[in-house]
Amino acid sequence: MAWSDSATPFRLNFFLCLTVTVFLTWLGMFHAPNFVQPQAELLQTAYRLTQATVHFTQSVNSSHDEVKLLGKPIRATLPDVWDKSQPNFRGYGWYEMELALDLGKPLPDSVFIPRSIMNIEVFLNGERIGGQGQMQDELSRNWNRPFLYYFPTSLLKERGNTLTVKVAGYENYRSGLGRIWVGPQGKLEPLFEKAQFWQVTASMVASMIALATAIVILLTAAFIPGQKIGLTYLGLAILIWVIRNIGYYQDWAPFPHAIWGQTVHTLHAWFGCLYGQFMLQYMNVQNSWAKKALWLYALGVTALIFGIGSDSILQFTAFLLAPIIPTLLVLDIMLLGQSWRTHNSEGLLLGFTSMMFLILSIRDLLSIIGWLEYEAVLLSQFTGALFFFSGSAVVLHRYREALFGLLQSNTHLNNALQAREQQLVAQFDMLRDVEKQRTQDAERRRIMQDIHDGVGSSLVSALNAAETRPLTGGEMKEVLQECLDDLRFAIDSLDPQSDDLLALLGNFRWRFDRRLRSAGIELLWDVEEVPKLENYTSREIFELLRILQEALGNVLKHAKACRIKLSIRWKLDTRQILITLEDDGCGFDPNSTHPGRGLSHMKMRAKSIPAELFFTPGLDGQGTGVHLIVQQTRGKPPNT
C-alpha cells in the first residue's frame, strides 16, 4: 500500500527531500573530510612530505640498505599509486623522504599517514618507530586505515633527517603511499582521530545500522503482508552491502585475498541486481525482460570476475559496474516520477535516498580509478544510515498501515458483531414469543385432549348407556366420579411442582382413597424416597399418572380385588425408578389376541414418556401386576 498524501503536503515533502539530497550530495562531493590538503594553521607547526625516492623489491627480508644496492632509486611524488607507477607489481616499496627541520616550528614527535595500501613499517633515521599489519604471505588488510606513530625527539638530528616508509602491497589493488604529515602530537593526534572516525569507526557504525535495517526489513517481509517480495529484495541488497563493507573497518578477511577480492566486487553486481529488482517490484513493473536482464547481469559479472582472477580485478571493476549504475539511475528516476504522479511520499523518500547513494557510489568509483585524490575518504559505505532512514520509514509505514488495517477490520467486525448480536437478540425474542405461544397452544390442546379423552369419553359412554336404558343411581354416581377424577388429573397436571413424583403419587392416593374404601378395597402403600424426575415435561408426567389411573380403574371395574399394593423403588445402580401396582383380583391375560382399548392406551402412553411397561401376576400370584420403569433423567441411558 502506497504512502499517499494530499497534493500540498506531498509537494512540501518533495522539496524537503530534494533540498536535503542536494545539500548532502554537495557536502559529499565537494566538502568530504580531507586530511592532506594544506591547512594554514597546521603548516605553521607540522611538515607535509610529498616527495620521495623509492626502491622497489620483491624480497621479503631485504633491509633498506640492501635494497639500495640493487638499483637506482625512482623519484616519486606522493601519493604514489603502484597501479600507475609500477603496473602489475607485487612486493615492497621503500620510500625515503628528507625531513628538514625548521627552527620556527616546534620539534616534531609524531608521524601521521592518512592512507597507505596495504601495510607499512616506518623508520626515522634508521630506527623503526612503528608498523601496521603483516608484511609477508597473506597481508593484513589495512587499506582504509590511517596510521599515527610517535617517536622520541632524541632521534632527530639538526640536519639530514630521513624518514623511511616500507610499504607491502598487492598488484592492481591501488597499493601505494599517500602524503605524510610529521609534527607535534598535539596537532596530529586530533587529525588522526578524525580520520580514524571517518574511515573506520563511522564505517563500522553505518554497517551495523545497515545490518539492523536489513534484519528488520526481512522480518517485516516475513510477517507483515504487502510488498513481501520487494521488501525481501531490499533486505537482501542491504545485507550484501553490509558484507561488502567489512573491509572498511576490519584488517582481516574471511577468505584468502584473491577470493575475497573477487567476492567483494561480485557483491557490487548482486547488490545492484537485487536493488533494481526491488525498485521494479515496488513500482509494480511487469516487464519480465528487465527483471531477467538484472539476473543475467549479476550472474555474468560473477562469472567474469572469477574467470579474470584477482590480479586484474580493479582494472575491470569500473567497466563491469558501468552498466548497472545508469540502469539504477533510470529506475530511480522512474520511481521518483511515479511517486510524483501518485503523491507517494514513501516512494519519494526511497527515490531520493537511492539517488544520493548512486551519486556517492559514482564519486567513490572515480576515486578507485584514480580520478580523485588517493587519500579521499570513501563515502558510499555511509549509505547504511540512509538505508536505515528510508528502510525504517518503509517498515514503520507498513506496520502503521497493517495496524490501521487491523484496527479498521476490528472496528468493522465489532460493528458487524453488534449488528448481528442485535439481530440475534431480536430473533431470539421473536422465537421466544413464538415458542411461548406454541407452548401455550400445546398446553391448551393437551388440556382439551385430556378433557376430551377423560371427561368427554366418560360422558359419551354414559350418554350411550342412557339412550339404551335408564342408568341406576350407582351407575350415575360411578360416571360422575370418573368425570370428577379426570378433571382433577387435568388440574393436577398444571402443578409446577410436577417433577416431584412422591408428591404427585400422594395426591393420586388422596384422589382415589374414597373410591377404594367405598369399593371395600384395601390400599397397601409401600413407597420409599426417590429423587425428582429431571427433563420430563408436565405432559409426560401426566401420562405416567394416566397409566396408573387406567390400571386402578380396571381393578375397580373388573378385578373384584380385595387388596391393591402401590410400591416405588429407587435403583441407584441404573438410576431408574420402578413403580408397581398389584392387586389380588381375578386378573387378565395381557397377551390376549384381542386386548381392550385401555391396555392399548396404557402402552401408547408408556411409549410417549418413554417408560418401560410390562405385566406380571399380582399379589400372592393372583390378580395382575402393572410395572413401570422410568429413567430418573429423561434421555440419559441407565448406568451399566
Cα separation, 466 vs 471, whole angstroms: 6
pLDDT computed for residue 435 by the predictor = 82
Q: With pLDDT > 70 as the criterion, what percentage of the chain qualifies?
A: 85
Burial class (CB in 10 A: 0-12, 13-18, 19+), 84: exposed
pLDDT computed for residue 48 by the predictor = 93
Cα separation, 172 vs 470, whole angstroms: 141
**228 domain residue, yes or no:** yes
Which whole number is the average pLDDT over 547-553?
84
Confidence label for 636 from pLDDT (cuts 50, 70 and 90): confident
The CA distances from residue 599 to 50, 159, 579, 591, in Å, are: 131, 144, 17, 11
Confidence label for 355 from pLDDT (cuts 50, 70 and 90): confident
What are the beta bridge partners of residue 95? 54, 165
In degrees and rounded to multiples of 5, residue 92 shows phi and psi of -135, 140
91 φψ region: left (φ > 0), alpha (ψ -120 to 50), beta (else) = left
What is the β-pairing status of strands 624-631 and 612-617? antiparallel
Least confident range from 217-231, 318-332, 418-432, 521-535: namely 217-231
Q: Are residues 233 and 371 in the same domain?
A: yes
pLDDT computed for residue 257 by the predictor = 79
Confidence label for 550 from pLDDT (cuts 50, 70 and 90): confident
Cα separation, 141 vs 255, whole angstroms: 12
Beta carbons of 91 and 152 less than 8 angstroms apart: no
**307 domain residue, yes or no:** yes
Q: With pLDDT > 90 as the criterion, what percentage of the chain qualifies?
A: 24
- Kindly report whether the peptide bond that precedes residue 33 is cis, defined as omega within 30 degrees of 0: no
Cα separation, 348 vs 239, whole angstroms: 22
Confidence label for 593 from pLDDT (cuts 50, 70 and 90): very low
Q: In what order do the strands lie in the sheet with 563-571?
A: 522-527, 563-571, 576-583, 624-631, 612-617
Q: What is the mean pLDDT of the chain?
A: 83
- Cell digits of residue 496: 409446577
**338 domain residue, yes or no:** yes
Beta carbons of 75 and 53 less than 8 angstroms apart: yes
Q: Are residues 170 and 219 in the same domain?
A: no
**190 domain residue, yes or no:** no
What is the β-pairing status of strands 522-527 and 563-571? parallel
SS3 annotation, 381-424? HHHHHHHHHHHHHHHHHHHHHHHHHHHHHHHHHHHHHHHHHHHH
**Element (H or E) spanning 483, and its range?**
helix 473-492
Of 397, 425, 456, the residue at which a domain comes to its end is 397
Quick count: other Cβ atoms within 10 Å of Cβ 500?
A: 15
What is the β-pairing status of strands 161-169 and 119-124? antiparallel
Q: Are residues 367 and 221 in the same domain?
A: yes
Q: Are residues 179 and 199 in the same domain?
A: no
> Which comes out higher in pLDDT, residue 72 or 130?
130
| Domain span at 535 | 520-640
Helix (H, G, I), strand (E, B) or coil at 435: helix
Which whole number is the average pLDDT over 406-434?
87
Q: What is the DSSP letter of 528?
A: -
Burial class (CB in 10 A: 0-12, 13-18, 19+), 413: exposed
The enclosing domain of 56 has a CATH number of 2.60.120.260
Q: Are residues 135 and 228 in the same domain?
A: no
Q: Are residues 163 and 210 in the same domain?
A: no
Confidence label for 177 from pLDDT (cuts 50, 70 and 90): very high
pLDDT computed for residue 450 by the predictor = 65
pLDDT computed for residue 496 by the predictor = 52
**Does the pLDDT of residue 640 top 50, yes or no?**
no
Cα separation, 140 vs 582, whole angstroms: 114
**Does the pLDDT of residue 253 top 50, yes or no?**
yes
The enclosing domain of 370 has a CATH number of 1.20.1070
**145 domain residue, yes or no:** yes
pLDDT computed for residue 106 by the predictor = 93
Which whole number is the average pLDDT over 86-115?
93
pLDDT computed for residue 488 by the predictor = 67
pLDDT computed for residue 400 by the predictor = 73
**Does the pLDDT of residue 49 top 70, yes or no?**
yes
Q: Are residues 286 and 173 in the same domain?
A: no
Cα separation, 468 vs 384, whole angstroms: 117
**Does the pLDDT of residue 557 top 90, yes or no?**
no
Model-level pTM greater than 0.85? no
Least confident range from 101-115, 352-366, 478-492: namely 478-492
* In the block, residue with C-alpha cell 582521530: 193
**73 domain residue, yes or no:** yes
Of 362, 397, 432, the residue at which a domain comes to its end is 397
Domain count for the chain, please give it: 3
**Does the pLDDT of residue 1 top 60, yes or no?**
no
Q: Are residues 157 and 213 in the same domain?
A: no
pLDDT computed for residue 318 by the predictor = 66
The CA distances from residue 229 to 220, 284, 353, 433, 435, in Å, are: 11, 11, 20, 57, 57
**Does the pLDDT of residue 354 top 60, yes or no?**
yes
> Which comes out higher in pLDDT, residue 52 or 58?
52
pLDDT computed for residue 13 by the predictor = 81
**Does the pLDDT of residue 254 top 50, yes or no?**
yes
The enclosing domain of 572 has a CATH number of 3.30.565.10
What are the beta bridge partners of residue 528? none
**26 domain residue, yes or no:** no
Q: Are residues 237 and 169 in the same domain?
A: no
Q: Are residues 236 and 358 in the same domain?
A: yes
Which whole number is the average pLDDT over 211-231?
80
Confidence label for 361 from pLDDT (cuts 50, 70 and 90): confident
Q: Are residues 273 and 362 in the same domain?
A: yes
Q: Are residues 246 and 359 in the same domain?
A: yes
pLDDT tens digits for range 423-469: 988 888 888 888 888 877 776 776 676 665 566 556 655 665 566 66
Residue 567 amino acid letter: S
